[in-house]
Amino acid sequence: MADLDVTRLLMDLEAGDRSVFDDLLRRVYDELRKLAQAQLRNERADHTLNATGLVHEAYLKLVDQRAMNWKNRAHFFGAASNAMRRILVDYARSKSTKKRSGHKVGLTNVGEAEQAVETSFETVVAIDQALERLGAINGRLVQVVEARYFAGLTIKETAEALGVSHATVSDDWRLARAWLQRELDA
């Protein structure tokens, strides 16, 4: 029933009923926080953005959109994962621009989702650019990468969020990793 409640609130918000804003945040906050923690779990200790800050920035981006079109709860959380990715990539770009290439951002390795590694800001930006190119070819592969790489979701959780089978996510994950590895090696 909670999924239906969130879906109803999203539809009300999309229809322009801003009075549901607080209720929606209360219902999704814990899950958004877990998503943010997964994205930030391997960050530097001195990272200026914490899970709470990432949740708030992402949530504000999501509900401030002029053309919200979320089909359901899973679609909303997919959009949240994408918003968090954009925030982290923007952060990495700003750090790269400031010539701080020695600082690292901890993210999950593209090749091995369960192995935490530190990734340079430049690599985060390169991965984002590669994902933009991949999105032009196959948008679902990008969604799988966002869920697995940026949000740290399991195969099962990714399948549930995207509404596809575990086998589809496994195949997409394998294909996306190979494609990204080729792009990043080039």
* Residue-wise pLDDT tens digits, 139-168: 999 989 887 877 667 888 888 878 899 999
Q: Given pLDDT bands bounded at 50, 70 and 90, which one contains residue 133? A: very high
Name the DSSP letter for residue 153: -
**Mean predicted lDDT score pLDDT of the chain:** 77
Residue 56 has which token pair? 């708030």
Encode pLDDT of 31-49 as tens digits: 888 888 877 765 555 567 7
Q: What is the pLDDT of residue 101?
A: 47
pLDDT value at 105 more than 50:
no
DSSP assignment string, 93-109: HHHHHTT-TT-EEEEE-
Listed residue (124, 123, 164, 156) closest to 140, CA to CA: 164
Mean pLDDT of 18-26: 80
Q: Which of 40-44, 59-63, 111-115, 177-181 has the highest mean pLDDT?
A: 177-181
Q: What is the pLDDT of residue 100?
A: 47
Q: What is the pLDDT of residue 138?
A: 95
Q: What is the pLDDT of residue 136?
A: 94
pLDDT value at 58 more than 80:
yes
Gap between the Cα atoms of 89 and 86, Å rounded: 5
Q: What is the pLDDT of residue 86?
A: 82
Where does residue 99 fall: left (phi above 0), alpha (psi -120 to 50 degrees), or beta otherwise? Answer: left
Q: What is the pLDDT of residue 137?
A: 94
Instruction: Specify the higher pLDDT residue, 101 or 176.
Output: 176
**Sign of the CA dihedral 2, 34, 127, 87?**
positive
Give me the half-sphere count of Cα atoms (radius 13 Å) on the Cβ side of residue 147: 29
Alpha helices in 72-150 (DSSP H): 73-97, 121-137, 139-145
Mean pLDDT of 55-68: 74
